């Protein structure tokens, strides 16, 4: 792009100006900072550099993207946006860097340039998110673009380039690239050229063990919004972390704090993110978006940052109020969501542990084929199936076996397993005490004998798109379990009252 070309041609002068601003702003008092009040972290202060980027990029920051999509239809308080989350991550990244600089600043040669790039990565890390949280990326796009690999992290990088070019922002190319590398740290191996301070790339998005300020913010923010308790004290981890051999390490005594991080996250996945009603709404919304895509070509926007940034959650209102006949089916689905006429949850089962290795995802076709002869013949379009995958990023295997070579699946948004404590304490080296110069891992038997032995959980949920078909679909679902496992793997029967609902 022309703007980026001009940026590179003037790299030396731009770099000098940036360094001057960085070092001059290091000692500024709060009179020169932009003050924002956040309902989770309290007062947030943006320094002059971040303030200028904040004001320029404000129109691109995801103010109209709910962090939890349409979850607010089940948890009415869950209306917080990516914009609020981005500010929170910015502030926690700033606080994490302050802690490191206070304790090891001279030893690690942390300068204000490092602090600024980490903070900017926190501010802009979610700018590439599409509508309705991860539903857009993980549920909608795979069905309309089967051959295209797309991630919001990489779109964030492209949007940052677009913002810089569109608004002629004078910023050094090295700074820009460093910020983008930090954002995609969970997707890519950090380039070798950054090995000197590789720990900086694990603060906003940690692809090694998953402990990062992004989680610190959304766990607390989501718990608060949904009215759930959160006893995870992220500040204990931030204030106790140290850098050893270019890795972020924690005192061994903080293993309970680490456990609370992932157990709280597990509770959120079980009770909020994969709530049966939430998934029913998401399945309906995906169907509405897929139908509308034929007319609106929503998926065509993902390759062009100039068009993509315009996509937000208001697309649901645009479809709902459009008079076009081509959007009638999508409008009807959205109207059903508004009226609470949701896809009916029939039942679910957890795949037996000894069957996980050869398990393949269940489809609507599988349910229909398992139906016995009755007075009603099911069709594929009558059934909705949700396959919930809960693992530690490596399926049934311990991620330690390949954590140093494969980062493609380092972040799975539906991870849920208390065994993560064991994996975490093995991956993340810890300090015995603050005076120790040795890092080590904690073996399984030193943590707890109550940790589960399996690293993966798979749950299959089935929904009826029409309430009068609950009975037939429930029976077909039970027949499928008998064919696959010789038993019904579900915990309870589908209530007769629900089966008879019309």
pLDDT at res. 13? 44
pLDDT digits (tens, 9 = 90+) for 274-316: 899 999 999 999 999 999 998 999 999 998 998 998 899 999 9
User: Is residue 417 scored above 90 in pLDDT?
Assistant: no
Residue 51: predicted pLDDT? 61
Q: Is the pLDDT at 105 greater than 70, yes or no? A: yes
Say which residue, 148 or 265, is predicted with more confidence. Answer: 265
Asked whether the predicted pLDDT for residue 464 surpasses 50, the reply is yes
Out of 197-206, 372-381, 401-410, least confident range: 401-410
State the first-to-last Cα distance of the chain, in angstroms, to the nearest integer. 58
- Report the pLDDT value the prediction gives residue 419, as an integer from 0 to 100: 40
Residue-level pLDDT at 437: 55
Let me know how many helices (H) and strands (E) the chain has, helices first.
20, 9
User: What pLDDT does residue 425 have?
Assistant: 43
Alpha-carbon distance values, 17 to 12, 23, 360 (Å): 9, 10, 56
Cα separation, 160 vs 249, whole angstroms: 31
What average pLDDT does range 375-380 have in this prediction?
Answer: 90
Q: Are 234 and 265 in contact (CB under 8 A)?
A: no
H or E, element range at 266 = helix 255-268
CB atoms within 10 A of CB 339: 8
Tokens of 446: 């030193």
Mean pLDDT of the chain: 79
Element (H, E) at 86: helix 82-108
**In this structure, which topology does domain 343-417+454-502 adopt according to CATH?**
Alpha-Beta Plaits (3.30.70)
Active site residues: 152
Over residues 77-96, the mean pLDDT reads 93
The three-class DSSP label of residue 181 is helix
pLDDT in tens, 388-414: 876 543 445 443 332 222 222 223 222
Residue 482 has a pLDDT of: 94
Given a cut of 80, whether residue 131 has pLDDT beyond it is yes
Burial of 216 per CB tally in 10 Å (0-12, 13-18, 19+): buried
- Which of 267, 221, 174, 186 lies closest to 79 in space, CA to CA? 221
Task: Place 442 in a pLDDT band, splitting at 50, 70 and 90.
Answer: low
In this prediction, residue 363 carries a pLDDT of 95
Dump pLDDT digits (tens) for 48-75. 666 655 555 555 555 688 999 999 999 9
Residue 196 has pLDDT above 80, yes or no: no
pLDDT for the residue numbered 19: 42
Assess whether pLDDT exceeds 90 at residue 200: yes
Percent of all residues in the chain with a pLDDT value above 70, rounded to a whole number:
74
pLDDT of residue 501: 65
Share of the chain above pLDDT 90, in %: 38
Structure confidence at residue 55 (pLDDT): 57
- Tell me how many degrees the CA angle 97-101-106 measures, rounded to the nearest 5: 145
Residues 6+ apart with CB under 8 A from 192: none
- Of residues 364 and 171, which shows the higher confidence score? 364
Rounded mean pLDDT, 346-372 = 91
Query: Which pLDDT tens digit goes with each residue over 481-502?
Result: 999 999 999 988 888 888 776 5
Confidence of residue 21 (pLDDT cuts 50, 70, 90): very low
Query: What pLDDT sits at residue 441?
Result: 55
Looking at residue 336, its pLDDT comes to 96
Model confidence over 146-164: pLDDT tens digits?
766 888 989 998 988 888 8
Using the predicted structure, report yes or no on whether residue 382 has a pLDDT greater than 60. Answer: yes
Residue count of the chain: 502
The long-range contacts involving 353-358, CB below 8 angstroms and separated by at least 24 positions, are: 353/454, 355/484, 355/485, 356/396, 356/454, 356/456, 356/458, 357/396
With a cut of 90, say whether residue 189 has pLDDT above it.
no
The reported pLDDT for the residue numbered 332 is 96
Least confident of 98-112, 118-132, 186-200, 319-333: 186-200
The pLDDT assigned to 122 comes to 92
Residue found by looking up tokens 């989680």 in the block: 215
| 393 conformational bin, left if phi > 0, alpha if psi -120 to 50, beta if neither | left
- Residues linked to residue 45 through DSSP beta bridges, in sequence order: 35
The pLDDT confidence band at residue 14, using thresholds 50, 70 and 90, is very low
């Amino acid at each position: 792009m022309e703007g980026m070309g001009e940026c590179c041609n003037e790299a030396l002068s731009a770099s000098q100006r940036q360094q001057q601003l960085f070092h001059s702003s290091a000692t500024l008092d709060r009179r020169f900072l932009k003050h924002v009040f956040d309902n989770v972290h309290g007062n947030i202060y943006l320094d002059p550099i971040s303030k200028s980027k904040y004001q320029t990029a404000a129109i691109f920051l995801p103010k109209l993207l709910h962090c939890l999509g349409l979850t607010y239809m089940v948890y009415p308080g869950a209306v917080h946006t990516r914009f609020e989350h981005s500010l929170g991550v910015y502030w926690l990244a700033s606080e994490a860097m302050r802690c490191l600089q206070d304790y090891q600043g001279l030893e690690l040669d942390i300068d204000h340039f490092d602090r600024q790039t980490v903070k900017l990565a926190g501010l802009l890390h979610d700018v590439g998110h599409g509508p309705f949280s991860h539903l857009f990326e993980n549920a909608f796009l795979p069905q309309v673009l089967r051959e295209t690999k797309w991630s919001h992290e990489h779109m964030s990088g492209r949007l940052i380039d677009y913002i810089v070019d569109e608004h002629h922002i004078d910023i050094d190319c090295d700074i820009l690239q460093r910020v983008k590398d930090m954002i995609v740290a969970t997707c890519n191996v950090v380039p070798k050229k950054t090995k000197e301070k590789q720990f900086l790339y694990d603060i906003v998005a940690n692809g090694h063990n998953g402990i990062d300020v992004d989680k610190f913010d959304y766990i607390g923010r989501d718990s608060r919004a949904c009215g759930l308790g959160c006893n995870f004290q992220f500040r204990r981890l931030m204030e106790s972390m140290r850098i050893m051999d270019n890795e972020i390490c924690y005192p061994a005594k903080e293993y309970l704090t680490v456990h609370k991080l992932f157990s709280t996250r597990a509770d959120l996945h079980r009770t909020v993110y994969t709530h049966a009603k939430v998934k029913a709404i998401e399945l309906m919304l995906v169907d509405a978006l897929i139908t509308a895509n034929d007319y609106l070509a929503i998926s065509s926007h993902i390759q062009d940052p100039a068009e993509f940034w315009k996509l937000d959650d208001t697309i649901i209102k645009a479809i709902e109020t459009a008079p076009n006949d081509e959007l009638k089916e999508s409008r009807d689905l959205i109207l059903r969501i508004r009226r609470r006429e949701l896809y009916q949850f029939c039942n679910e089962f957890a795949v037996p542990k000894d069957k996980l290795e050869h398990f393949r995802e269940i489809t609507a076709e599988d349910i229909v084929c398992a139906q016995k002869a009755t007075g009603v013949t099911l069709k594929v379009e009558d059934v909705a199936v949700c396959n919930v995958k809960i693992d530690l990023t490596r399926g049934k295997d311990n991620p330690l076996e390949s954590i140093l070579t494969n980062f493609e699946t380092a972040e799975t948004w539906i991870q849920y397993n208390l065994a993560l404590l064991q994996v975490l304490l093995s991956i993340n080296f810890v300090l015995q005490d603050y005076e120790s110069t040795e890092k080590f891992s904690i073996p399984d038997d030193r943590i707890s004998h109550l940790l589960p032995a399996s690293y993966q959980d798979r749950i299959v949920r089935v929904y009826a798109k029409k309430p009068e078909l609950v009975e037939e679909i429930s029976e077909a679902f039970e027949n499928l379990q008998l064919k696959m496992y010789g038993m019904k793997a579900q915990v309870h029967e589908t209530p007769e009252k629900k089966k008879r609902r019309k």
